[in-house]
Amino acid sequence: MFRFRPTTLATSRTLQRYGNRSNNLQPSASTSWRGFQGEHLSLARNYSVTTVRPKEEDSDSNSGGDGNNSNNNSNNKTEPQVILPSRVSFGEDVPRLPHTYALPLVSKPLFPGLITSVTLTDEATIEAFENLTENNNGQPAFISTFLRKNLTTGVTEGGVHLPTPEVIHDKNDIYSVGTFAQIQRIQRGSASDNASSSSSSSTANGKSASSATGSTTTTASTINGNSSSSNTDHSAETATMILLAHRRVDLVDIDEMGPPIDVQVKHWSRLEHTGNDQAIRALSNEIISTIREVAQVNALFRESLQFFPMRVQGDNPFKLADFAASISASGSPEDLQAVLEEKDPEMRLHKALVLLNKEREVSKLQKEISEKVEEKLSEAQRKYFLTEMLKSIKKELGVERDDKEALIEKYKKQLAEYPEVPKEAMATIQEELDKFATLEKNSPEYNVTRSYLDWLVSMPWGVVKDENFDITKARQQLDRDHYGLEDVKDTILQFIAIGKLVGSVQGKILCLSGPPGTGKTSIARSIAASLGRDFYRFSVGGLSDVSEIKGHRRTYIGAMPGKIIQCLKATKSTNPVVLIDEIDKLGSGFRGDPASALLEVLDPSQNFSFRDHFLDVPVDISKVLFICTANELERIPGPLLDRLEVIKLSGYDLPEKVAIAEQYLVPKSMKESGLMVEKTKPATENETTDDSSEATKDTEATSSSEETSVDEEDDFGTTPLEKFKHADGVPSTLEITTNALKSLARWYAREAGVRNLAKYIDKITRKLALQVVAESEEAELTKKSTRKSDTWVIDEENLSDYVGKPVFTTDRLYEDGALPNGIVMGLAYTSMGGSALYVETQGIKRGLDSDGKQRGGGTLKVTGQLGDVMKESTQIAYTVARAKLSELEPENDFFDKTDIHMHVPEGATPKDGPSAGITMVTSMLSLALGKPIQSDLAMTGEISLTGKVLAVGGIKEKIMGARRSGIKTVVLPSACQRDFDEIPEYLKEGLTVHYADDYGTVYEAAFAESISSS
C-alpha cells in the first residue's frame, strides 16, 4: 500500500483526542477549532459535518445530542455551537441521483476522491446551490461537474477571461463524462476577498484542482466555525464552494439549460480488477517510481504531497491513475479528461503515466534553470563580497582610496602638468572639484560633474608643440607629396619664415579654392607634416547644427563640446593644423546657422577667447592654423569669406597631368595592384645606414633647382617609378608609356583634376594583374579580358583594350577652317575648371501675310539651360548687336525681319555668368552680316550696353580650356591682362592674345577688319 497521509493514523489520533465514541465526537476544552478543522479534513472521506446548538439557544434543534450534555451546558448560556462529525456514506456508498444540477469546470476536471474549491460568478447558479444546501433537511447536497469542451482554459482567443464560465448555451459545450460531487460548503465573498485568500488547493503541486474563474482556495483555510450560509451577503459578486468528488457519471441529457443547468446523469458502476495482470502491476510500479522521482526533483511538488488528504493504494490501478492525473500540473485539460473517461485500467494507467512523465521533464528543466540562475547569483554575490572586502582592506591599509578621492587626485595631478592654466578656467575647475567632493556617487549630478571635469582637465592648457622652422626641409616635404601648387607652398614657407623671425607662431586662416581632384584636402596633411604640427580634419558639408561647432549646453542629456574643442583634446596641443573641409557646402536649418558660428572661430581678433557652449570658459585657439577647402567661393557667405585668405587652385593642364601620372599615380597603382614592390638597397661602404642615405637624398634635393620638372623625382613624388621594381612573376617589360598617359588625359579624363585619370590608371593595372596571374596559371579568360597584343607595354595603340573607347573623339565641335555663320567659341569657368563652349545663333525669316506685311521679326529666343545672369546677357548682347549692325550697314534690316534663336550646346549642363557677352554679340553679327569666324579663335568678356568690354575671372582656367581645345587666338578684356601675365609661360606659348576695351577691338579680331572701315 502506498500512502501519502495515513488516514488510519489520523483517525486514531482524533479518537484519542475527542474520545472513542461511535456517533458523537466533541472537541475537548483544550482543543482549538483550527486543529479540529484539520483533523476533520483528514476524515472527510468517512464523516460529514453537522451543527449542534445548546438547548438553551435552540429548543427545536434536532441535532441528536444526549441529555447529559444538555444539563452540563445549561449553566453556560454563551456556550458556542458544537460541530459533530457523524458517519456518512462515501464513494460508491453515496446515493445515485438521476437528476442533479451541473457545474461546468475550466482548466481541469475533478477526479473522484478529491476535495477542491470552485469559485462561482453567476448569481443564479450561486442562489440555486445555496437553496440546495439549505433546503435539503440536513442531508448532503450533490451536483455533477463537467469540463468545458470549448474555451477549456476559461480564456477567449483574445485573452479575455470568461465572466461566467458556469453558463453554457449548448449541450456540446461540455464533455459527456464528469464527476458526481458533494457540496461541503458554500460561502459568498467579493472577488477581491477570493483573490486575497487564494492559495494552493488539495493537489500534489499546490495548484488548483479545478476552478471556474481561476481562483481557488485551500480547503482548510475556507472552513470556519460558521458553516451555515443563512448569513451570507447576497449582494456579493462571487461565491466559493467546497466540493468532495465521489464517482464518475455520464451526461444523459440536459433538462434545462439554466442557469443553473439541470441534467440527467447515469452513474458508473464500480470497476473491478483482479490484480493478476503483470502489465498493470508494472505500470503501477512505474507511476509510483515516477511520483517519487518528481518529488525528489521538485521541492514544491514534494511539499504539496505531505498535505494531500487522499489515501492511495498501490494495488488499485483505478485510484492510482486518478491520483497520478490529479497531481499532474503539466497536463492539458484534454489529456486529463481522457484519463477521466478511460474505463480500461491499463489504458488509464498509461495515460496517467504520460502525464507524470511530462511533469518529470518540466520539473527537471525547472530545476536546471533554477540551478543556473542560482549559480550566476552565487558567483555575482561572491565577487561582490570579495570586491567589497578588498576595498575595505586596502582602505584600512591606506593602499587605495575610494573612487572619488582617486579621481580628484588624478585631476589635480593632470592640471599640474600643464604650463599655464588661465585664471578663469582654473577658478571654474576648482569650483567644480569642490562640488564634486561633496557629491554622492549615486547622485544624478555626479556623472554630469565628472564629465564636465574630464573635458576641462583634458584641455591642453598652454601646451604648444615644437615646430619646424627649417624652410628647406619644409619645401622638400611639400614637394615630395605634391606636384605644382606653388601658391600654397609659398604661403606656407612665408608662414614658417615669419615664425622664425618673430620667435612665436600665430595661427592663420587659409582657404583653398579650386575644382575637385586638384589636391586641396591632401595638401593640408602635407602642410601639417612640413610644420611639424598635429593634424585634425572634419568636414562641414551639409552641416546644419550649430552645436557641432560650438557644442551643446550642459543642460541637455548627452551634451558634449563642439568639433573645435574635440580637436584640441585629440591633438593635445593648442597649435594643430585643422582642416575644415567643404566649407562652401554648409547648411542651415532650425538648429541654427553654422556659417555664422564659424565667424568667431575663423576671426583672428576673436578666437583668442573662444567660448564653447559646453565648457563655458575662454579657450585660446589663435595659434591654430585653419585650412578650409571649397569648390565655389560664391556659395560662402560674405562675412565668412571676408575672414579667409583665399588661395585659388586652378586645374591641371595636359603636361601637368602627365607628370603627376608618371611620378605619383602609376607607381601608386602598380604597388597597390601587386605589380611592383619597393627596391631594397644593400648597405655599401659609403652608405652604412639608412639615415646617411636619407641625408644624402636631402642634400641632393636641396641643391637641385626649384623649377618644376618631370625628371626631378627627389623634388616631386613619394613613390617615383625608379624606386620600385617589378614583383616576382611579373614581366620586366610591363609598363605604361608616356604616350598612353597623354591619350588618357586628352581623350578620357579632361576634367580639371586628376581623380578620373587615377581611376583609369587603376583600371589598367587591375586588368594587367589579372592577365599576369591568368597566364602564370594558364587559366582561360573572357575575350574582353584576354591580352590581345604580344607585348606587356601599354601604349597609345592598345590603350582602348584596357579602358575602352575614348570618351572624347575631337578637341572641338567644329574642325579646322571657317565656322558656319552665327557660331562663335567662348571660354567659360566652372567648378570643374575651364572649358570652351560654342554659342550658336540661327535666323528665322517670316513671309508676308495676306495684307503684304512682314510676319514676325525682332524677337529673340534662347535655349541651353541658361541662368538668370546669362539670360540678361543675351538681351544686352541683342541690343548691342542691333546697334553695331546699324553702324556697320545702316540699310541692313536683318534683325527687323528675322527672329533670332540663340542656343548654347550641352543643354543638360546648367550655365550662368556674364562672361559670354562679347561672344553672343559676335555670334549675332556673324549671322546678320553673313561673315564666318575662324575655328581657332575663342573669346571671353562681359559687354555693357554702350559696347564696353568688362573684366571677368578665371583667366588661367579659361586659357587651359582653350589650349585643350586647340585654340590659337584668344580675345580677353584689357582689365584681365594682369591675370594673363601671372599664368605660367608654358601656357602662353603659341597663343595670340587680343585685349579689348570696347567691342570695336573684338570686331577687328573676329572679322579681321575694323568697324570704321566697314
Catalytic residues: 915, 958
- The C-alpha cell at 40 is 476533520
Taking the CA atoms of residue 140, residue 146, residue 148 and residue 153 in that order, the dihedral angle to the nearest 10 degrees is 70
- The C-alpha cell at 917 is 557677352
CB neighbourhood size of 311 (10 A): 19
> Which residue, among 151, 145, 149, 171, has the nearest Cα to 163 in the 3D structure?
151
Strands (E), 747-794: 793-794
Are 269 and 180 in contact by the 8 Å Cβ rule? The answer is no
Distance (Å, whole) CA 214 – CA 153? 9
Q: At what angle do helices 520-531 and 486-502 cross, to 10 degrees?
A: 30
- DSSP letters spanning 470-505: -HHHHHHHHHHH-S--HHHHHHHHHHHHHHHHHSS-
Distance (Å, whole) CA 460 – CA 236? 77
For residue 936, what are the contacts with CB-CB under 8 A and spacing of at least 6?
Answer: 816, 966, 967, 968, 969
Handedness of CA 881, 882, 886, 892 (dihedral sign): positive
What are the residue ranges of helices labelled H in 626-727?
A: 638-641, 654-660, 666-672, 690-703
> Which residue, among 108, 25, 678, has the nearest Cα to 338 in the 3D structure?
108
- Convert 274-304 to b/e letters by CB count within 10 Å (16 or more is b): eeeeeebeebbeebbebbebbbebbebbbeb
The β-bridge relationship of strands 99-105 and 261-267 is antiparallel
> Which residue, among 682, 990, 934, has the nearest Cα to 814 in the 3D structure?
934
Residue type, 567: C
The CA R_g of the chain, rounded to the nearest whole Å, is 52
Peptide bond into 260 cis (omega under 30): yes
What letter does residue 723 receive in the DSSP assignment? G
For residue 548, what are the contacts with CB-CB under 8 A and spacing of at least 6?
Answer: 540, 562, 563, 594
- Convert 89-102 to b/e letters by CB count within 10 Å (16 or more is b): ebeeebeeeeebbb
Question: Cell 637641385 sits at which residue?
Answer: 704
Distance (Å, whole) CA 644 – CA 652? 24
Phi, psi of 251 (to 5 degrees): -80, 115
- Specify burial of residue 899 (Cβ count, 10 A radius: 0-12, 13-18, 19+): middle
CA-CA distances (angstroms) from residue 382 to 153, 376, 387, 596, 870?
44, 10, 8, 58, 81
Handedness of CA 905, 906, 912, 916 (dihedral sign): negative
- Measure CA 209 to chain center: 49
Distance (Å, whole) CA 127 – CA 116? 20
Q: How many residues does the chain have?
A: 1014
CA-CA distances (angstroms) from residue 721 to 181, 660, 775, 964?
103, 12, 25, 27
Distance (Å, whole) CA 576 – CA 30? 96
- DSSP letters spanning 110-140: PPTT-EEEEEE--HHHHHHHHHHHHTSTT--
Distance (Å, whole) CA 877 – CA 991? 27
